[in-house]
Each structure stands twice: as structure tokens, then as C-alpha cells.
Amino acid sequence: MDARLICGQDVRRSGIWPTDEARIEAFIQRHGGTLEAAPVGDAAVMLRWTSLEGPCKTATGITAREALRKLQAEMA
């Protein structure tokens, strides 16, 4: 059994990893504002970006990397 599975959940999905942090920092440097991350149940990660002017965008993915990719696509 894979030790990363807890109660049937892959714990690698529900957190922000160092590689994710680097991508998030790059996103913030490029767009400004703040970026919040939160788990969505035990199956996804939600990222919420709030600009300095106030508008907010949200993206959800199985991993933080996927959610950030979706958020970046919205920004393009």
C-alpha cells in the first residue's frame, strides 16, 4: 500500500507543494494581488485570485498546478 494514501485519499492532491509555491509566486509577481488556496472536499484544490482593484477569479482543479493552469488561461 502506498503510504501517501490515507483513508483512500491521495494526500499529494490536497496540499500546496514547493513547486506549486514557485508557480504561485510567479503568478502573483506577474498579475499582482493575492492568491488564496483551499481544499475542495478531498478531491480538489481551489485557487482564488483577487486583484489590487478588487475583481476576483476562481479556478478549481484536481491539483494546485491544474487549478493555476486554469486560472492563467482565464487571465490570457
What is the Cα–Cα distance from 49 to 68, expressed in whole angstroms? 10
State the average pLDDT over residues 52-62.
90
End-to-end CA gap in the chain: 41
| pLDDT, tens only, 1-14 | 444 444 545 555 55
| pLDDT, tens only, 21-39 | 889 899 999 999 999 888 8
- Cβ-contact 31, 49 below 8 angstroms: yes
Give phi and psi for 12, each to the nearest 5: -70, -25
Q: Which residue has the higher pLDDT, 50 or 3?
A: 50
What global pTM score does this model have?
A: 0.75
